[in-house]
Structure 1
């Protein structure tokens, strides 16, 4: 097993208008990536909501336990982090 590699990502959170560069590693899970991205926007420029977060890469929502390396995400790829409201009641 090799050491985790740095993977800087271009990321945007929910309805934020600021795209940020977030350093993660190939060993980080999508849940960890979502938290890292949200840290810079949620409660600052985007209202915090009581829903789980999901990472979207190339139009595909990724499972929270999938690692950056296993997802095939490359340095400087673009990801979006959205609130997962699919389980929310109306």
Structure 2
């Protein structure tokens, strides 16, 4: 049996940041951590339509808070899934 190395894959996500009114299609990679995903999604809203706060960000997928050290693939997040990024309480 041959050892197959899986290359990172592009995973387009439907993402929204905090209380922004606009959901966006955000391209991320399957090996991005959720911390990276949070920054990629926040980039489009934070300081523009959502006030920037000095707080850590968290990612929610299917109603659950996802550990920020996991990758997109490890968290089971797939193409066109909806994720919400918000500030930690």
CA RMSD of aligned residues (A): 0.5
Residues paired across the two proteins, number: 85
The TM-score normalised by the length of structure 2 is 0.93
Larger Cα-atom Rg? 2
**Cα distance, 1:37 vs. partner?**
0.2
**Cα distance, 1:65 vs. partner?**
0.5
Would you say 1:22 and 2:26 are equivalent positions? yes
- Aligned counterparts of 2:62 and 2:69: Cα–Cα separation in 1: 18
Residues 11-47 of structure 1, C-alpha deviations (whole Å, 9 max, x = no match)? 0000000000000011000000000000000000000
The TM-score normalised by the length of structure 1 is 0.92
Q: Which residue matches 2:14?
A: 10
Give 1 or 2: higher helix fraction.
1
- Aligned counterparts of 1:49 and 1:59: Cα–Cα separation in 2: 23
Residues 29-83 of structure 1, C-alpha deviations (whole Å, 9 max, x = no match)? 0000000000000000000011100010000101111000001111000000010
Q: Which segments of 5 or more consecutive residues in structure 2 lack a partner in the other structure?
A: none
Q: Which segments of 5 or more consecutive residues in structure 1 lack a partner in the other structure?
A: 86-90
Give every structure 1 segment of 4 or more consecutive aligned residues whose post-TM-superposition deviation is greater than 2 Å: none
